[in-house]
């Protein structure tokens, strides 16, 4: 019997140290049973939290890269994008979505967090990101990014269930088919609030941990993507990702230099082999 291996095009940057983007996407989705074809947007010596990092913009090569894929006749079950550094890169993700057969386009609109906006995301870049979100099957903004997409002022006050649902609806009105509004804090809980393609709204609750680790947003969306591409529904995939991220963060607290290295997910990836997180060993 022929076995089907889902294939995903991952449009993200690559950091040599400080886990995020492709150094999270590749191992997590591979462990979940998904073939990942990376399209780097930029190459860094470390992630941008470190001083004096080196940087190579890959934009000039991206179009030829996609042309070659097209000549080979490649097909993708998913196109999954993260941080994009220019309008040209946004346009290239649109090209992938429009020209290559795929089942689900996933856009993580990386523009900022905690009310702080990445410096390049002013004016045209925010408009370009809205246009990409408009053709996405799934979009995964945090609250800062959701406010930018909906042209609202960021407020750090807690967003209740009604407010979260309204924010999700406003993002969907841009054209996206489904959404996960990530990392909404209410007291000592974190909520991931979502609307699936059938219009069902749900929330996944997890405890707050007293720390921040980089790479967790990429980790969350990648686990969701793995679940979806292995045939699970959005609610199951969100629950899988939320619990996976919580468990690896809790484990990471005892790992040396973790706030430089990034969240220590490696000891847990084997538990994603079915496509969703198996909290207990079989």
Which residue, chain included where needed, has tokens 């979502």?
Answer: 194
Residues in the chain: 282
Please answer whether residues 241 and 251 qualify as being in contact, where contact means their C-beta atoms are separated by less than 8 angstroms.
no
> What's residue 281's pLDDT?
52
> What's residue 122's pLDDT?
87
The 10s digit of each residue's pLDDT in 238-278 is: 999 999 999 999 999 999 999 999 999 999 999 999 999 99
The dihedral formed by the CA atoms of 131, 181, 86 and 225, expressed in degrees to the nearest 10: -100
Mean pLDDT of 203-208: 96
pLDDT band at residue 282 using 50, 70 and 90 as cut-offs: very low
pLDDT band at residue 2 using 50, 70 and 90 as cut-offs: confident
Helix 124-133 with 87-99: angle, nearest 10 deg: 10
Cα distances (Å, whole numbers) of residue 142 to 5, 106, 113, 174: 30, 14, 7, 16
Q: Which CATH superfamily is domain 7-272 in?
A: Ribokinase (3.40.1190.20)
Start-to-end CA span in the chain (Å)? 25
On average, the pLDDT of the chain sits at 94
> What's residue 89's pLDDT?
97
Query: With 80 as the cut, is the pLDDT of residue 139 above it?
Result: yes
Q: What is the pTM of this model?
A: 0.96
The 10s digit of each residue's pLDDT in 71-80 is: 999 999 999 9
Please answer whether residues 18 and 46 qualify as being in contact, where contact means their C-beta atoms are separated by less than 8 angstroms.
yes
């Amino acid at each position: 019997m022929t076995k089907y291996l889902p294939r995903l095009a991952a449009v993200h940057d690559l950091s040599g140290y400080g886990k995020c983007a492709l150094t999270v996407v590749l191992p997590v989705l591979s462990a979940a049973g998904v073939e990942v074809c990376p399209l780097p947007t930029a190459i860094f010596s470390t992630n941008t939290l470190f001083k004096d990092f080196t940087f190579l913009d890959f934009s000039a090569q991206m179009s030829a890269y996609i042309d070659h894929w097209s000549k080979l006749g490649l097909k993708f079950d998913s196109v999954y994008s993260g941080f994009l550094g220019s309008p040209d890169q946004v346009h290239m993700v649109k090209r992938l979505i429009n020209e290559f057969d795929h089942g689900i386009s996933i856009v993580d609109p990386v523009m900022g967090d905690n009310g702080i906006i990445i410096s390049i995301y002013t004016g045209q870049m925010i408009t370009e990101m809205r246009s990409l979100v408009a053709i996405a099957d799934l979009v995964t903004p945090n609250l800062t990014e959701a406010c930018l997409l909906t042209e609202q002022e960021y407020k750090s006050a807690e967003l209740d269930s009604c407010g979260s649902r309204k924010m999700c609806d406003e993002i969907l009105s841009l054209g996206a088919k489904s959404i996960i509004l990530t990392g909404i804090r209410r007291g000592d809980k974190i909520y991931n609030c979502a609307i699936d393609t059938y219009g069902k709204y749900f929330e996944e609750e997890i405890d707050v941990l007293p720390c921040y680790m980089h790479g967790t947003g990429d980790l969350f969306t990648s686990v969701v993507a793995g679940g979806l591409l292995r045939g699970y529904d959005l609610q199951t995939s969100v629950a899988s990702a939320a619990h996976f991220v919580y468990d690896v963060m809790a484990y990471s607290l005892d790992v040396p230099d973790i706030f430089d290295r990034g969240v220590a997910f490696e000891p847990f990836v084997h538990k994603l082999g079915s496509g969703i997180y198996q909290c207990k060993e079989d």
